[in-house]
Chains A and B, each alone.
Chain A
Amino acid sequence: MKPVTVSELTFAIKSLLEPAFRSVAVQGEISNFKLQSSGHLYFSLKDPNSQISCALFKGSASKLAQMPKEGDQVIAIGELSLYAPRGQYQLIVRELQFQGMGELLLKFEKLKETLRQRGWFDRPKKPLPKLPKRIGVITSPTGAVIQDILHILTRRFAGFHVILNPVKVQGEGAAGEIAQAIYDFNKYDLADVLIVGRGGGSIEDLWAFNEEIVAKALFESKIPTISAVGHETDVTIADWVADVRAPTPSAAAEIAIAEKANLIKFLSQTSQLSTHRVQEQIRQSRFRLTALQKHPLLSSPYTLLSLPIQKLDDMQTDLQTSLQMRLDAYRTRLGANFKRLETLNPASQTAQFKQRLNTYPSRLKSAAEAALRQKKEQLRAIKEHLHSLNPKNVLKKGYSILFSEKDHSIILSTKEIQTGEKFTALLSDGQLFATADTMDSYDTRNSLF
């Protein structure tokens, strides 16, 4: 045989032992009780023939109703554990129920085991209705449960429908009434979900919810059930069988309407989200629009249009200029043609003639006058000439004219007079009567004159 190490063996034992006793309730008497300074409790449970080491750690010890002492009759609930360093198995106690409750606890554990084996705890749980219209409540009409439930529902919703089946929740006959109420709700189809519960109390107070008759009614209910018994630490058979275990009556109400509350919350969130999304999108669009508006292309229409506008202006100017030019040309040509036409117009020709005709008298007059003036001038010049030629004027200069007395002719040459002949000399201021005494004729060529 191949040897194994101590650790190997210990581990093998641990692996076999621990899963087999994961949850046990052991009845016995406390001995060797020790409270360590760490807060953990160590003791043994014994009966006349055996004993077992127990450890109750600080966390569980704080939940104890009272501190155990030597000789206490208790039921210890916990799991078996192997402590390898010492090679000891011990019970790790989670809960300690004291004397007097021992019988009930035992019954509880026995029924729990029985029902577990029947599969009542592990059956598929019925889903709670999402929107229960009628909430059936099975509890005392004077207890805290109905009050808590109504308080929660009123706080959450304006409208709801609660049907209370008033029952005794403790003492003689309580379990029967509770079970009957569950059957009645089913029989008359009075609710969409059931809350079964009562407030906190001792194990005796809660006992009705540990009765098989109640467990059976819950198990057989077609209406989904929510158990709400005692405080969170109190666990009853009803809690195991019900479809949902609520830690408190208020929680039961919350659970029953959870979906409705969720839906309303979803609606409000959806409203907020969609509003937010749309607002955000509008904000972004506005932002983009503003950005676009600030873009030079859009901020001033001239940016986009300046070129065409200028071009248009230029074209307009060009057009006007060319039109003007053509117009001017036409106007000039028209003017010329008009003038030509004017000249060709017979009326205007006669007018011209008339005009010319009109000028003739004055022209004639001025021509005549000019001729007259010229003649006058000529005359004046001749006169002056004549004047200078007047013999009398010559006579004043010492000349004299000789006249023959015989014929009064002017004696121009010596040949015209005879010696001794008489003649008259005309002087500027009278006559001299003389006689030619001698004569001497000059050769004309040698003449002084």
Chain B
Amino acid sequence: MTQETLSFEKAFERLEQILEKMNGGKTPLEESLKLFEEAEQLIRACNGRLQTAEKKIETLIKTRSGELALDPDQKPKTQPFSCPYT
């Protein structure tokens, strides 16, 4: 598990904790407001990470013999792919 997913998991764990606390109905209003603020920040951060990925559609390039075309670093070459029907 990468560092990123780990902190992600923690954020979600914390959100679940916050929800549990708030739903308990025993938190004083002031604490609820603090929890709410924290939740909003976590949500914004997580949403940001989930939704800001760049849209990238690539296709691998193949040689005449059907093997992957590689760049000088021995990594497969790609080119943008546009769906013929859309």
A and B part of one assembly: yes
Smallest CB separation, B50 vs chain A (Å): 6
B3 lies within 8 A of chain A by Cβ: no
Asked whether B51 lies within 8 Å of A157 as measured between CB atoms, the reply is yes
Contact assessment for B50 and A260 in the assembled complex, using a CB-CB cutoff below 8 Å: yes
Residue on A with the closest CB to B62? A166
Q: Does A133 contact B (CB under 8 A)?
A: yes
Known: A150-B57, A158-B55, A163-B59. A278 touches B81 (CB 8 A): no
Q: What is the size, in residues, of chain A's interface with B at 8 Å between Cβ atoms?
A: 40
- The answer to whether residues A160 and B36 also contact, given A188-B76, A263-B46, A266-B12 and a CB cut-off of 8 A, is no
Name A136-163 residues within 8 Å CB distance of B: 141-142, 146-147, 150-151, 154, 157-163
On whether the beta carbons of B23 and A277 are closer than 8 Å, the reply is yes
Give the distance in Å from the alpha carbon of A277 to the alpha carbon of B23 in the complex.
7
Contact B58 A162 (CB under 8 A): yes
With A278-B22, A278-B33 already in contact, the answer to whether A164 and B58 are too (CB < 8 A) is yes
Q: Is B8 a contact partner of A131 (Cβ separation < 8 A)?
A: yes
Q: Are A177 and B66 in contact (CB under 8 A)?
A: yes
- With both chains docked as a complex, state the minimum distance between the C-beta of A443 and any C-beta of chain B, in angstroms: 152
Contact of A184 among B35, B40, B47, B76 (CB under 8 A): B76
- Across the two chains, which residue of chain A brings its CB closest to B47? A267
Bound-state CA distance A164–B52 (Å) is 21
A350 CB to closest chain B CB (Å) equals: 88
Instruction: Sort A-B residue pairs by CB-CB distance and give the 5 closest, nearest first.
Output: A159-B53, A277-B22, A164-B59, A161-B56, A278-B36
* 18 A-B residue pairings within 8 Å (CB atoms): A131-B8, A141-B81, A147-B85, A150-B57, A154-B55, A160-B53, A164-B57, A165-B59, A165-B60, A166-B59, A188-B68, A263-B46, A264-B50, A270-B18, A270-B43, A275-B36, A278-B36, A282-B29
User: Which residues in B have some Cβ–Cβ distance to A below 8 Å?
Assistant: 5, 8, 12, 15, 18-19, 22-23, 29, 32-33, 35-36, 39-40, 43, 46-47, 50-60, 62, 66, 68, 75-76, 78, 81, 83-86
